[in-house]
Structure 1
Amino acid sequence: MSRNGALMVLLFAAVAAEPALAQVETIWSCKDPNGRTHVTNLKEDTAGKDCRIVQQQRVTVVPASKPSGKSPSPPGFPKESPSDRVSSKAKQRDTIERELTQEQSMLADARKKLTEQESVRSGDEKNYARVLDRLRPYKDTVEVHEKNVEALKRELNNLSR
């Protein structure tokens, strides 16, 4: 095959492959017989309507590259030994248990304050709604501490898995 023939074959192959790699996206603005305007990118939706091209652009589709395998750790990268992992979990457990103890004492204190406030009734609180309004911050504090205690207990359970 001559050099010109090879170029022609190569050119033909490039032209034939182009539709797979590049496409034209067209957006139409159409008016239906009732006068309503519709915008579409589907050629089939333009049938029987007064349409004009709003936008037309070439979209190039690039095939995705194959994902590479798991990259190895660089040489000299520190590895965590099983004993390091156990000691780390022990530190986490100690920290969470300490936080849990603090949170439980704050919960007990908040409950005590709520109980004290429930027993107090001032003269201007003849309406029960006012009593509830005054107690709301105390109840909210108790609820927050209860949720924190539950979350810390869940964390401890997850740590033992």
Structure 2
Amino acid sequence: MKFALVLASVLLSPVALADVYKCVETDPVTGQKRVTYTNTRGAKGCERLSEDLPVSSVPGAAPAKKPGASSPGAFPRVSSDDQRARDAERRKLLEGELAAEQAALEEARKAFAEADAVRYGNERNYQKKLDRLQPFKEAVEQHERNVEALQKELSGLR
């Protein structure tokens, strides 16, 4: 057992004692220097560290965010009166769209009912009639989904 431990430590020791290089690179955009540590000799700017210096591979802590800083300082602020006016304008626009969509839904339902009332002579097979009515049915379903989405959006407004 002891022999296996000694053998493993001898085999792994070159890995543990590998050379460590400190590379300093300058970012061409910001001009800031960035330091990286590696076990392989990289491009220019890398120098071998002496073996007695400890090198940590644990990343540093991320900078803490300020509690009230959700937007940049130069981000434009809107007064509450302006925001209320915008909300009212949006509500008015959505109500207009809802009314237009409800009218389109009623018209699509009417067109579907008219097409459903007619049966042509070549439609002895009922599937042919269903195939002819499918676009009308899809139009009704699309308008119903649009009305539902607009109502949901209106209910979410303040």
Once the two structures are superposed, the pairs formed by residues 63-74 of structure 1 within 5 Å of their partners are 63-69=60-66, 70=69, 73-74=72-73
Aligned residue number for residue 113 of structure 2: 115
Larger fraction in strand = 1
CA 1:123/1:90 → structure 2, altered by over 3 Å: closer, same or farther?
A: same
Aligned residue number for residue 151 of structure 1: 149
Report the number of matched residues.
107
Amino acid across the alignment from 1:133: D
- SS of aligned partner of 2:156: helix
Deviation, 1:79, is 1.8
Once the two structures are superposed, the pairs formed by residues 41-56 of structure 1 within 5 Å of their partners are none
Aligned residue number for residue 83 of structure 1: 81
When normalised by structure 1's length, the TM-score is: 0.60
Distance 1:143 1:124 in 2: 27
Larger fraction in helix = 1
Aligned residue number for residue 36 of structure 1: none
**4+ runs of 1 displaced by more than 6 Å?**
none
Task: Write out per-residue CA displacement over residues 9-67 of structure 1, whole angstroms, 9 at most, x where no aligned residue.
Answer: x85242xx35xx1xxxxxxxxxxxxxxxxxxxxxxxxxxxxxxxxxxxxxxx6334323
- Over the matched positions of the two proteins, sequence identity in percent amounts to 40
- SS of aligned partner of 1:95: helix
Distance 2:108 2:80 in 1: 41
Aligned residue number for residue 54 of structure 1: none
Deviation, 1:85, is 1.0
User: Structure 1, unaligned stretches of length 5 or more?
Assistant: 1-9, 22-60
Q: Does 1:97 align with 2:89?
A: no
Once the two structures are superposed, the pairs formed by residues 124-143 of structure 1 within 5 Å of their partners are 124-143=122-141
Distance 1:94 1:13 in 2: 69
When normalised by structure 2's length, the TM-score is: 0.61
Distance 1:71 1:156 in 2: 26
Amino acid across the alignment from 1:63: G
CA 1:120/1:85 → structure 2, altered by over 3 Å: closer, same or farther?
A: same
